[in-house]
């Protein structure tokens, strides 16, 4: 039987569930939080850029 | 540009702060650096490596309505092309305003030729380009 991948990366066109992330925001020099719910409320596009680790090349 | 770019790794926000202060290449960085120490968001997008606890190089564009429109994942040893990311982003903006059009691979920016898929174009794509 073929397994179907449920992850979002394999499901372009899917609605992304709301999520929150703690952040460090260099523009403010302070910690903060981003939430998809807030970004959507502000009519913003969101680009998520994952990378393996700080202190390495991105 | 109407978009929030959020970089995400499994490092904590404290490590983000230390790295951004330490690395000269990052001195002009403005975007928020997201922290996913549990790997939950990375798993949701399918980029979490259970063996290493790290996230692969995944890039995802989400519309203001919350729909995932682009997905790209590279292994650890391959960097991403920012021009291609910007091309996709600009194409999404264009297509959100012109829902009957399609952006072909050569579309780079506003004003470039788009296609309007229709019965007339079937088997005649090269003519549609002219």
Is B55 part of a structural domain of the chain? yes
Is B110 part of a structural domain of the chain? no
Chain A window 18-37: which residues touch B at a Cβ cutoff of 8 Å?
Answer: 18-19, 21-27, 31-32, 34, 36
CA proximity to B11, closest of A28, A51, A31:
A51
Is B72 part of a structural domain of the chain? yes
Average the pLDDT over A15-43 and give the result: 96
Structure tokens at B19: 């790295």
Is B56 part of a structural domain of the chain? yes
Query: Closest partner residue to A21 among B8, B70, B89, by Cβ?
Result: B8
Q: In a mutagenesis test of the B interface, which of A9, A21, A50 is the best target, namely the one with the most B β-carbons within 10 Å?
A: A50
With CB atoms and an 8 Å threshold, state whether B33 touches A16: no
Structure tokens at B96: 């959100």
- Positive or negative: CA dihedral A26, A27, A33, A37: negative
Chain B window 20-79: which residues touch A at a Cβ cutoff of 8 Å?
Answer: 20, 22-23, 26, 29-36, 41-47, 52, 54-71, 73, 76, 79
Is B130 part of a structural domain of the chain? no
Average the pLDDT over B30-48 and give the result: 97
Task: Quote the CA–CA distance of B6 and B95 in Å, as a whole number.
Answer: 23
Is B1 part of a structural domain of the chain? no
Beta strands in chain B (DSSP E): 3-9, 33-35, 48-49, 54-55, 57-62, 68-74
> How many contacts, defined by CB atoms under 8 Å, are there between A and B?
176
Number of domains forming the structure of chain B: 1
pTM of the complete model: 0.92
Q: Structural domain of residue B53, as residue ranges?
A: 7-80
Is B51 part of a structural domain of the chain? yes
Q: How far, rounded to the nearest angstrom, does the alpha carbon of residue B67 sit from its chain's CA centroid?
A: 13
CA distances from A45 to A48, B48, B90, B92 (A): 10, 23, 11, 10
pLDDT, tens digit (0-9, with 9 covering 90-100), for B1-34:
689 999 999 999 999 999 999 999 898 899 999 9
| Percent composition of chain A: helix, strand, coil (DSSP 3-state, to 5) | 15, 35, 50
Query: Measured between CB atoms, does A58 come within 8 Å of chain B?
Result: yes
Instruction: Find the CATH number of the domain harbouring B63.
Output: 3.40.30.10
Is B115 part of a structural domain of the chain? no
Is B118 a residue whose pLDDT tops 70?
yes
Task: Quote the percentage of chain B above a pLDDT of 90.
Answer: 81
pLDDT of residue A1: 65
Cβ neighbors of A3 (< 8 A, separation 6 or more) are none
With CB atoms and an 8 Å threshold, state whether A58 touches B32: no
Query: Closest partner residue to A36 among B31, B66, B73, by Cβ?
Result: B66
């Amino acid at each position: 039987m073929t397994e179907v991948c449920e992850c979002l990366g394999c499901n372009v066109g899917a609605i992304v569930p709301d999520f929150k992330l703690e952040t460090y925001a260099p523009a403010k020099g302070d910690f903060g939080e981003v939430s998809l719910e807030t970004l959507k409320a502000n009519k913003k596009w969101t680009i998520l850029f994952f990378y393996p680790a700080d202190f390495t090349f991105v | 540009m109407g978009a929030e770019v959020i970089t995400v790794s499994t490092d904590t926000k404290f490590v983000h702060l230390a790295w951004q202060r330490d690395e000269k290449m990052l001195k002009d960085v403005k975007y928020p650096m997201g922290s996913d120490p549990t790997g939950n968001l990375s798993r949701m997008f399918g980029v979490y490596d259970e063996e290493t606890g790290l996230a692969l190089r995944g890039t995802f564009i989400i519309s203001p309505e919350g729909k995932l429109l682009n997905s790209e994942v590279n292994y650890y040893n391959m960097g991403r092309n920012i021009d291609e990311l910007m091309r996709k982003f600009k194409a999404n903006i264009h297509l959100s305003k012109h829902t009957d059009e399609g952006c072909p691979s050569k579309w780079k920016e506003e004003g470039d030729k788009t296609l309007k898929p229709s019965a007339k174009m079937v088997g005649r794509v090269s003519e549609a380009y002219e």
